[in-house]
Amino acid sequence: MSTVIWDGSGEGTEGLTRRTVLPNGLRILTEEVPGVRSVAFGVWVDIGSRDEDTSSAGASHYLEHLLFKGTARRSALEISAALEAVGGEANAFTAKENTCYYARVLDRDLPLAVDVVCDMVTGSLLRGEDIDSERGVILEEIAMHDDDPGDVVHDLFCDVVLGDTPLGRPILGTVDSIEEMTRETLLGHYGRYTPSGMVVSVAGSCDHDAVVELVVRAFGRDGSGTPDPLRATARAELQEGGRVAVTSRPTEQANLVLGGPALSRRDERRFALEVLSAALGGGMSSRLFQEVREKRGLAYSVYSFTSPFADTGLFGVYAGCQPKRVDDVLNICHEQLDLVVSGGLSEEEIARGKGQLTGGMLLGLEDTGSRMSRLGKGELVYGEHLSAADLIGKIEAVTADDIAEVAGEVLAGPRSLAVIGPVDGQRLTRAVA
């Protein structure tokens, strides 16, 4: 068992952070935060929706639901009641490349949180009757998601850029894949939850050695895990740029996303892209907000975003507007993207973008849940821990030339478009082509 200690407390934003690796490959990271009574505990699993094939689409999210349905030691009611009885909360989420199970409690109740969450992650029964009952719940969740065109358009954008691939498919799966999901498929997916592919992260009022002992009792010291080889084979398959996907719906608004492939999460230029995105569409002072909403009143919501993955990423601009204004909104978005490519951003815009990113990150450090997420995701996704000071340094180091470089690579290529609403898809396709 190896332990590493580093201390970011000198900046006044971070406490003592320690990392221990158990013989079975499980990584445990803690950050002690002085002056708080709460503690956030999370188990991060290096399995997400991109680790599924067509027949198992939605299995990661399905499994996330099922782990709350009962173990040999606790029923579903006992799982939820245990933490609610002490004022705590437990939840989980599934992403494209990982899944997280977490709880937030008072420091005195951390042993209970560790026991409950680890029991769920390591000892779920996956009973047939629970699988059948939860199937209906997930189908309702898909229906609820499909009723929100602002959510669906992002799935459509992933499809138009990444195609019918694990990374391009919806995290929830489809109605067909969920209806056909078998217990054998879910058990096989659950079997890929190995200690070497997990990270435990804890932030708040906690003691590292005590956390390690609690987790060791839950997971065990012995055994070893092997990396799952599927991630290497489920590579992103970028589609040709300039594609248009339109789903016609009788909605009051048209929801659109314009953009294309971007940088991977390991590309150091991602900091420049984040500053660019913040300045272009990250707030009320951004170019897109000012041009689309403030000056012309064409949309209520307009913003830009980045989504980095292991081997690629996405950059997009979202807007929701009246169907008759789609052309005007798209023209402005294209114009502003072209202007950034040709002329870059002003020093004032760059400074605002940097301030927005660094200020938001430091404000997030006031929440133990945010600290836990940053700690766990940093280890699982990047394999390293960058302190707030490290991250601020990388953001502040971004130059106008750095932004011009990433703009030329990410924004200049043929842009793809996804639209949900009562619009003429053939006309939009001809316009983009």
CB-CB contact of 414 with 241 (8 Å): yes
For residue 355, the SS3 value is helix
Which residue is catalytic, options 64, 274, 291, 349? 64
Quick one: which of 304, 295, 282 has its CA closest to 350? 282
Quick one: which of 414, 58, 17 has its CA closest to 203? 17
Other beta carbons within 10 Å of 239? 17
Q: Beta strands 27-32 and 16-21: pairing type?
A: antiparallel
Who's near 158: CB < 8 A, 6+ residues apart? 167, 168, 169, 170, 314
Residue 38 dihedral angles phi and psi, to the nearest 5°: -90, 160
CB-CB contact of 384 with 311 (8 Å): no
List the structure tokens of 131.
């699988």
Measured CA to CA, the distance from residue 364 to residue 383 in angstroms comes to: 21
CB-CB contact of 368 with 202 (8 Å): no
Whether 252 is catalytic is no
Measured CA to CA, the distance from residue 277 to residue 374 in angstroms comes to: 20
CB-CB contact of 207 with 34 (8 Å): no
The residues carrying an active-site annotation are 64
